[in-house]
Amino acid sequence: MDLSSPDFQNNGTIPSEFTCDGKKYNPNLEIKNVPPGAKSLVLIVDDPDAPGKTFVHWLVFNIAPTTIKIAKNSIPGKEGINDGRKRGYFPPAPPSGTHRYFFKLYALDAELNLPDGVTKDKLEIAMQGHVIGKAELIGLYKRSG
């Protein structure tokens, strides 16, 4: 399975449009080679460089396995709660230095029976034993000034 973005390369800089310094939109994402047998996709976006703990920026689950593009400023599935305590995309806003933002896509052999607003911990527990593919895209961001 492959995950890419027309907006930035893997390990490249995320344009400010998709951060706290811009329009705060989620970036465009492109999905290829979803494994046969996938019943749903899960997207977890997090920042392991955040102070104190890995900061969850976006949780989306029960994305249709036929999805080939997640458009900017979209909601492609059910959303969990981010570490800003809201559903939706929480844009990169590193307090200092360059942070890495991991866009992790999982193919599952099932849909998840979870409510909107689920936490990352509960989402990951529900995913156990169902992951049949994974792809990752890393974006970097450092605030100017």
DSSP string, 11-78: TEEPPGGGSTTTT-PPPPEEEE-PPTT--EEEEEEEETTSSSSPEEEEEEEEE-TT--EE-TT---SE
Let me know: does 27 contact 18? Beta carbons within 8 Å.
Answer: yes
Three-state secondary-structure class, residue 122: helix
What is the total count of domains within the chain? 1
Residue 104 lies in a domain: yes
Q: 59 forms bridges with which residues in the sheet? A: 44
Q: What is the pLDDT of residue 119?
A: 97
CATH code, domain carrying 34:
3.90.280.10
pLDDT for 144: 83
Residue 86 lies in a domain: no
CA distance 38 to 133: 8
Would you state the pLDDT for residue 123? Answer: 98
Residue 61 maps to a domain: yes
> One digit per residue, pLDDT tens: the chain, 145 residues?
999 999 999 999 999 999 999 999 999 999 999 999 999 999 999 999 999 999 999 999 999 999 999 999 999 999 999 999 999 999 999 999 999 999 999 999 999 999 999 999 999 999 999 999 999 999 999 998 6
Is there a domain that residue 145 lies in? no
Euclidean distance between CA atoms 140 and 8, whole angstroms: 9
Domain that holds residue 114: 2-78+94-135
Q: Is the pTM of this model over 0.85?
A: yes
